[in-house]
Amino acid sequence: MTVVVPNYFLQEKPQAIHSVGGTYIKRAGSSTKSHKVRNTMHGLLVVLEGSKAVESSGSKIELSAGEAAFFMQGNYFISRNNGSYRALSIYFDESFASRFALLSQTDGPDIENVLEIDCADSRSALALAETIWAEIDIGPLNEELFKSRIETLFWELLALRPKEGRLFFKHIVNHGERRFRKVLLENLDIIESVADMSRLLCMSPAHFHRRFKDEFRISPKRWLDAKRLEKAASLLTGGEMSVAQVAAECGYSTPSAFISAFKKEYKTTPKRFRGALMMENRHF
């Protein structure tokens, strides 16, 4: 199962996640399952007890109690927790990140998408994380006080790796305008409708439509239709799937609906499109 966060908690388990000052906060506990996680926002994970293995872009990191990691929006595979496990997860966007990037004027070379921080010797950082953990369920929250504690936790952790931290957050801010487009392109395989797109970006339908037209200059439906057909053409080129399988893989309700849309775009049927490619390859 692939879980998209923080979307999954906002939509399926709203009681498990708390929104404070533009951030989303979650307490993580022990689990016996391994699961794939895609994050549509940037995040911070502070391990308070136990350990966690995280794989991202071919690299693997191990986080134990007293260790933390900032991670950029992207795709991650998170393995099973080891033993008794407690962690604090905080998700945030570029507007929240901007306050931590003010002291660095340029990006550095080869910015990694995960910034590990050993905070085992930082009593203040760990005490603050424990306080946030404990107070999450003591409602109603004083939002301003809670927001201040989250910001202080970020500063405490970044003080342990000041240069790398400033560059990390500056990179997030400098490339923030790309996040909207990046989230959609990286999750095309799970997008079936325009409503899915707005939910994925945690936006209201009206806000999403305005932002989308500013970004792409076309309607969301036209863009999604074009991307689905591009994917279909690529699958047909591979020659390993039937037309019906391609239709299902690309989110069409029926093969006939797929054939009609494909013919309208490419002026030929999927079967003839594939046949023409096979003939070209044979002559080549």
Fold of the domain spanning 2-176: Jelly Rolls (2.60.120)
pTM: 0.77
Average pLDDT of every residue of the chain? 85
Q: What whole-number distance in Å separates Cα of residue 254 and Cα of residue 277?
A: 24
Share of the chain above pLDDT 70, in %: 88
Domain limits, the chain: 2-176, 187-283
C-alpha 211/C-alpha 136 separation (Å) is 32
Q: At what angle do helices 220-238 and 270-283 cross, to 10 degrees?
A: 50
Determine contact, residues 57/29, Cβ cutoff 8 Å. Answer: no
With CA atoms as reference, report the closest residue to 28 among 93, 96, 82, 71: 82
The CATH number of 187-283, from 1.10.10.60, 3.50.50.60, 1.10.8.10, 3.30.70.120, is 1.10.10.60
pLDDT tens digits along 194-223: 998 988 888 889 999 998 998 899 999 999
58 pLDDT higher than 70: no
Reading the block at residue 268, the tokens are 């030929």
